[in-house]
Amino acid sequence: MTTRLYTHPIYLEHLTPTGHPERPDRLRAIAQALQDERFDALDRKESPPGDPDAILLAHPLSYREKVEAAIPTEGLVRIDADTSASPKSWEAALTAIGAATAAVDDVFSGAADNVFVASRPPGHHAERETAMGFCLFNNAAIAARHAQRKHGAERVAIVDWDVHHGNGTQDIFWHDPSVLYCSTHQMPLYPGTGDRHETGAGNIVNAPLAAGDEGEAFKDAMRTRVLSAIDAFKPDLIIISAGFDAHHRDPLAEINLVEDDFDWATGELLERAGRFCSNRLVSLLEGGYDLQGLATSTAAHVSRLMKG
C-alpha cells in the first residue's frame, strides 16, 4: 500500500491574526508528528503549483476574481469575521488546490493507492460564491470535479468528519447526484447547517452529533448513515475532508473523539475504497485546532492509510 503525502512551505505563509485558531503552527505540529520512524515509508512530495482555472471547477470566475482582488500587498485583511488573508494567501490557496488535484491524478494513475494532503487554508466552508469559516476555496469540491472531468469518475463520495458541517461542499453539490456528500458534525454549532433533513438531490447525508458525544455515537452515525450510503452509492473515488477538531482536546467544539476513532473511520473508508474503487482515496486536511490533538489524530489517520 503506497501512501503519498503532499505539503509545502508556502502553507506556513498564509497568515492569520494573532490568537487565531487556524494558524501555521498546525502544520508544524503535523510535520513533527510525521517525523516518527513509523512514517519512514511515507512517499513525501512537495505540493505542485495549482492552476487558477481549477478554481472554476467549483466556483464562478467572478468569485475567483473577487478573492484574488482581496489579497493584500502587506498586512492582513478580513474576508469575513473569521476568514483573513495575507500577501501569500493566494499562492498558498492555489498550492493547496494543486496538491488536491495532483492527489486525484496519483490515485487514478496508480502512482499512489491513497494520498494525504497537509495544506492550508482549509476548504469545506467555502461555498460556491462565499468565503467563510477560515476557507477561501473548496479544495474537496475542486478535487471531486477534477476527478470527474479529467478521469471520467462517474460517482465521487466525499466524507467529512470535521466537527463543523461542511456547508460549502453541501452548497456546491446540492443539486448534483453524481457526488455523494456525507458529514458527521456537532449540532448546534457553526455554521448552523447540517440537519438530517437537508438532503439535496438525495445525495446529501448529514449525521449530526450532540455536544458531549463520544466515539460510540460517532461510530453509530458512521455505520448507520455514512457507510451505508457509500455502500449503496459505490463510488469511483472517496475523498475525505479530514478535520480533527472532533478530538476531545479541541477548543472549538464539544465532541469527545480519541485517536482510535479516527483510525477506525479511516479503516472503514479504506475497506470501501478497496471494494468499490481500486483503493482510490484522497484525504484533505480541514480543521483541528488543539496542536497535540491534531498531531496525534493525524498520525493515527496517516498510519492507518499506510497499512491499508
* Active site positions, annotated: 125
Question: In terms of Cα–Cα distance, which of 93, 117, 94, 91 is closest to 105?
Answer: 117
**CA atoms of 256 and 118, how far apart (whole Å):** 23
**CA atoms of 56 and 61, how far apart (whole Å):** 6
Dihedral over Cα of 17, 287, 101, 81: its sign: negative
Strand order in the sheet with 204-209: 43-46, 3-7, 114-117, 281-285, 237-242, 156-160, 179-186, 204-209
Q: Which helix (H) or strand (E) holds 78?
A: strand 77-78
Neighbouring residues of 56: CB distance < 8 A, sequence distance ≥ 6: 64
The residue count for the chain: 308
| DSSP assigned state of 256 | B
Question: How many C-beta atoms surround the C-beta of residue 83 within 10 A?
Answer: 22
